[in-house]
Amino acid sequence: MKTGMMLVALAALVTLPVSGQERSAVATLVDSAGTRLGEARLTETPSEGVHIELHVEGIPPGVYGFHIHETGSCSPDFEAAGDHFAPEGKAHGPMHEQGRHAGDLLNLHVKEPGEAASEWLADRVTLEPGAPGTLLDADGSALVIHTAADDYVTQPSGDAGSRLACGVIDG
């Protein structure tokens, strides 16, 4: 019994970066005029995936699609961020029978007075350079807030509208 518990404890430690340092990244989200709307902090979890903590303000109240995009560029316009991050080639949407891809996150709900603080677990991505599903590959990744709610099924982007804000994930 003691040996089994020690193996579980050792296995948990193996997934942590050396010296107890956690892998982390940050993305500053801006609107099309370059105005800072908020920040996302990304932290590798000890088990699987990346914890994303988002704080934004200055966005009208409503429900917005929020996704990880495949390219770490927001300029010259937010289209430079490319498509949703989908290294496994899966369909879009947690409600789609063939979905979901790694960049799918649940909608962002912004209340009055236009501020939101939300958290997600992106369980199919990592911040480990060189690993499958890494957000920190050669061309990077970005976080994008869309202008409409994601319906979680429409291909290829959940009918979430155009891009309202973008932030390059910087590790």
Task: Kindly list the domain boundaries of the chain, sorted by start residue.
Answer: 21-168
What is the mean predicted confidence (pLDDT) over 107-123? Answer: 94
Q: What is the pLDDT of residue 31?
A: 96
Residue-wise pLDDT for 24-35, tens only, equals: 999 999 999 999
- pTM higher than 0.75: yes
Closest by alpha carbon to 140, among 74, 96, 79? 74
What stretch of H or E contains 11? helix 2-14
Closest by alpha carbon to 37, among 57, 11, 13, 10? 57
| CATH code, residues 21-168 | 2.60.40.200
Contact between residue 67 and residue 78 where contact means Cβ atoms under 8 Å apart: no
Query: Reading across the β-sheet that carries 36-44, which strands appear in turn?
Result: 66-69, 142-146, 163-168, 24-30, 36-44, 50-57, 115-122
Q: Please report which confidence band the pLDDT of residue 21 belongs to, taking 50, 70 and 90 as the band edges.
A: low
Which residues pair with residue 165 across a beta bridge?
145
Q: What is the pLDDT of residue 45?
A: 96
Q: What is the pLDDT of residue 80?
A: 96
Contact between residue 152 and residue 158 where contact means Cβ atoms under 8 Å apart: yes
Amino acid in the structure at residue 8: V
